[in-house]
Amino acid sequence: MATLSSSSAHCPSYAYHRLSSSSSNGQHQRVGFTSSLPQRAKISLQCLKNSHQNVVLMQDGPVATTATPLGNETPFKESKGGLLSGTSLEECKDAVGFDNNENEPSVSITVVGASGDLAKKKIFPALFALYYEDCLPKHFTIYGYARSKMTDAELRTMMFVVYLDEVPMFIHGENCDEKMEQFLKRCFYHSGQYDSEENFAELDRKLKKHEGGRVSNRLFYLSIPPNIFIDAVKCASLSASSGNGWTRVIVEKPFGRDSESSAALTKALKNYLDEDQIFRIDHYLGKELVENLSVLRFSNLIFEPLWSRQYIRNVQLIFSEDFGTEGRGGYFDNYGIIRDIMQNHLLQILALFAMETPVSLDAEDIRNEKVKVLRSMRPLQLEDMVVGQYKSHTKGGVTYPAYTDDKTVPKDSLTPTFAAAALFIDNARWDGVPFLMKAGKALHSKRAEIRVQFRHVPGNLYNRNFGTDLDRATNELVIRVQPDEAIYLKINNKIPGLGMRLDRSNLNLHYAARYSKEIPDAYERLLLDAIEGERRLFIRSDELNAAWALFTPLLKELEEKKIIPEYYPYGSRGPVGAHYLAARYKVRWGDLNVEQ
């Protein structure tokens, strides 16, 4: 039985919202990062002094702070002080111009696990970016919730230091510091246990004061390890859900480890939430170029007719990182790269890429089509999978660690940090077309891309100009999701001159050259969607079940048979097994070509 209240929001439609927050040429209003660092550093010093932090201003910029002693939580009502210290509710009301119009709903956003890595690096910055762009509702409050003892001031200091220091996705520009000041006044912290209804009831009381009797909509972002999801949802549900507006919960991955644990998680969540209150986040769906996939396909006449087995030889989905697990080994060892990247991020891209034309752009129409693709796929076979693990490597006098050098990873771990797989969609459109996935950590480059290799041109008009390697002469469409976003199409053309020599060139939409503004971070888009009640980019439970059904038998087999991964040096291109796998399907990985 669902106990969190749910009311469907009448939000502006997604398309309208995006149009209204864009300039006439479709560029997002963002500004560069480095514009006013000296000024920001000055303000930060003042702010941090006001908040009674011990401040160290380092030469040329970054500010380091040491927190006040643990247990010094600022009581909400009595807090006084400067910008980063606990601002009282009255001060906060003045600062943000609360009015007495009770018809305007408020939104309270609680980041559960606020002391953690994801909250610090992604969620709070994304919330600020939304505030900067005037995308948050007029009456909003942000709460950090975690067990760590922290005052409001300390939370704000943490957010401010990240703002100054670390996160390039932050927008900086006109009035940025002022906006940050205003934003921080609306951020608060409540320390509590994840399994304490009483602690969530305390949070509820604080939220109510901010909401001031308005219709109160509440968004909880579960940025905590999965083993405490249910405790937190239960307590939020029983003690802190909205009494008169909607309550939504963003759930971070991992959504289980296999079909059974995922189903159990969904079942447990549904004891407290309805499906339409659950926003399962896959942040790759919020990436600009993944969003653009459907636009590319369905708004251009030239692509859709080619989008099938008739013209496409293979599709490659490639993810690589040039660093290892870096402190997340404890989490990673329980999941591995297949669960961490393939079963969710790459599979979601595949589903969007391969789906049939949806009836409309409504969330349910799109998710219906995605689920059909997933259910048409063959469960993965062991022979269609290659797994690897990085080992230590010394280069230029620097020694890079092996995966098992991570102190939180067992020395004999067989967890894959690399995997390559061949997948097939057994439907009329894609019958026989290999969809190759490759994902790995500690490789030679950081990238995420989709490569579509087209078939050879029939007939042999120019074959002698291509030489013997016809594959190299076929068209390839590359959607580079990151970094340096681009969509380019490789074509053949004649080299100017009197002879008949052919060349390969790119028709290139290079985002940095075409659009001068920064691309919004995926978390920004997804948070905004959750606030607006737009579910299109979140995973529905049947999609999740279908995704796990494809991977679970293989994952079990890998574990039961204790398959030993192929070891590859840190910083390399990964195991050679990936090439043999591709070759079996007459495919060459596109990212290995010299010109790429």
Ligand X SMILES: O=C1O[C@H](COP(=O)(O)O)[C@@H](O)[C@H](O)[C@H]1O
Ligand Y SMILES: NC(=O)C1=CN([C@@H]2O[C@H](COP(=O)(O)OP(=O)(O)OC[C@H]3O[C@@H](n4cnc5c(N)ncnc54)[C@H](OP(=O)(O)O)[C@@H]3O)[C@@H](O)[C@H]2O)C=CC1
Instruction: Report the site for ligand X in 106-145 (rule: CB under 6 A).
Output: none
Cβ neighbours for 280, distance < 8 A, ≥ 6 positions apart: 251, 253, 255, 538, 539, 540, 541, 544
Instruction: Report the site for ligand Y in 133-172 (rule: CB under 6 A).
Output: 146-148
Q: How far apart are CA 567 and CA 422, in angstroms?
A: 20
Q: Is the peptide bond before 520 cis (omega within 30 degrees of 0)?
A: no
Closest CA to 212 of 90, 137, 102: 102
**Nearest CB to ligand Y, comparing residues 14 and 319:** 319
**Nearest CB to ligand X, comparing residues 91 and 291:** 291
17 catalytic residue (yes or no): no
**Nearest CB to ligand X, comparing residues 448 and 478:** 448
Sheet architecture: strand order including 435-440: 502-510, 486-494, 476-482, 447-454, 312-320, 435-440, 418-423, 385-391, 566-569
Q: Where are the beta strands (DSSP E) in 458-579?
A: 476-482, 486-494, 502-510, 538-539, 566-569
Q: How far apart are CA 162 and CA 492, in angstroms?
A: 47
Q: Which does 62 bind (CB under 5 to 8 A by kind): ligand X, ligand Y, none?
A: none
Q: How far apart are CA 91 and CA 26, in angstroms?
A: 38
**Nearest CB to ligand Y, comparing residues 176 and 481:** 481
In whole angstroms, the minimum distance from the beta carbon of 401 to ligand X comes to: 16
Given 152, 181, 340, 534, the residue binding ligand X (CB under 6 A): 340
Given 9, 41, 118, 509, the residue binding ligand Y (CB under 6 A): 118
What's the alpha-carbon Rg for the chain, to the nearest Å?
A: 25
Q: Which does 439 bind (CB under 5 to 8 A by kind): ligand Y, ligand X, none?
A: none
For 459: left if phi > 0, alpha if psi spans -120 to 50, otherwise beta; the answer is left
In whole angstroms, the minimum distance from the beta carbon of 59 to ligand X comes to: 31
Q: Which does 223 bind (CB under 5 to 8 A by kind): ligand X, ligand Y, none?
A: ligand Y
Given 68, 73, 111, 113, the residue binding ligand Y (CB under 6 A): 113
Q: Which does 340 bind (CB under 5 to 8 A by kind): ligand X, ligand Y, none?
A: ligand X
**Nearest CB to ligand X, comparing residues 352 and 448:** 448
Binding mask 320-359 for ligand Y (x = CB under 6 A): -----------x----------------------------
**Nearest CB to ligand X, comparing residues 84 and 547:** 547
Q: How far apart are CA 441 and CA 340, in angstroms?
A: 11
In whole angstroms, the minimum distance from the beta carbon of 448 to ligand X comes to: 6
Q: How far apart are CA 30 and CA 19, in angstroms?
A: 15
Q: How far apart are CA 563 and CA 136, in angstroms?
A: 49
Binding mask 443-462 for ligand X (x = CB under 6 A): -----x--------------
Q: Is the peptide bond before 565 cis (omega within 30 degrees of 0)?
A: no
Instruction: Report the site for ligand Y in 202-231 (rule: CB under 6 A).
Output: 223-226, 228
**Nearest CB to ligand Y, comparing residues 225 and 401:** 225
Instruction: Report the site for ligand X in 307-336 (rule: CB under 6 A).
Output: 321
Q: Give the active site residue among 345, 393, 510, 579.
A: 345
Q: How far apart are CA 89 and CA 259, in angstroms?
A: 46
- Residue the block writes with tokens 């009836």: 359
In whole angstroms, the minimum distance from the beta carbon of 287 to ligand Y comes to: 13
Total binding residues toward ligand X, as defined by CB under 6 A: 4
In whole angstroms, the minimum distance from the beta carbon of 361 to ligand X comes to: 24
Q: Which does 225 bind (CB under 5 to 8 A by kind): ligand X, ligand Y, none?
A: ligand Y
Which residue of this chain has its Cβ atom nearest to ligand X in the complex? 340
- Considering only the stretches 15-23, 43-51, 251-259, 493-501, report the one whose residues sit in contact with ligand Y under the rule CB under 6 A: 251-259
In whole angstroms, the minimum distance from the beta carbon of 159 to ligand X comes to: 20
388 and 567 Cβ atoms separated by less than 8 Å: yes
149 and 72 Cβ atoms separated by less than 8 Å: yes
Cβ neighbours for 161, distance < 8 A, ≥ 6 positions apart: 44, 63, 64, 65
User: Does the protein bind ligand Y through residue 308 (CB under 6 A)?
Assistant: no
462 and 445 Cβ atoms separated by less than 8 Å: no
Q: Which does 118 bind (CB under 5 to 8 A by kind): ligand X, ligand Y, none?
A: ligand Y
Given 116, 212, 401, 553, the residue binding ligand Y (CB under 6 A): 116
Which residue of this chain has its Cβ atom nearest to ligand Y in the complex? 116
560 and 352 Cβ atoms separated by less than 8 Å: no
In whole angstroms, the minimum distance from the beta carbon of 270 to ligand X comes to: 24
Instruction: Report the site for ligand X in 16-35 (rule: CB under 6 A).
Output: none
553 and 155 Cβ atoms separated by less than 8 Å: no
82 and 160 Cβ atoms separated by less than 8 Å: no
Instruction: Report the site for ligand Y in 184-203 (rule: CB under 6 A).
Output: 194
Give exposure, 519-551, as e/b (b: 16+ Cβ within 10 Å). Answer: bbbbbbbbbbbbbbbbbbbbbbbbbbbbbbbbb
**Nearest CB to ligand X, comparing residues 340 and 476:** 340
In whole angstroms, the minimum distance from the beta carbon of 122 to ligand X comes to: 9
β partners of residue 505 = 491
Instruction: Report the site for ligand X in 419-448 (rule: CB under 6 A).
Output: 448
Q: How far apart are CA 281 and CA 267, in angstroms?
A: 17
Alpha carbon distances (Å) from 217 to 207, 211, 220: 10, 9, 10
In whole angstroms, the minimum distance from the beta carbon of 232 to ligand Y comes to: 9
Which active-site residues does the annotation give?
345
Q: Which residues bind ligand Y (CB under 6 A)?
A: 113, 115-119, 146-148, 194, 223-226, 228, 252-254, 331
Q: Which residues bind ligand X (CB under 6 A)?
A: 283, 321, 340, 448
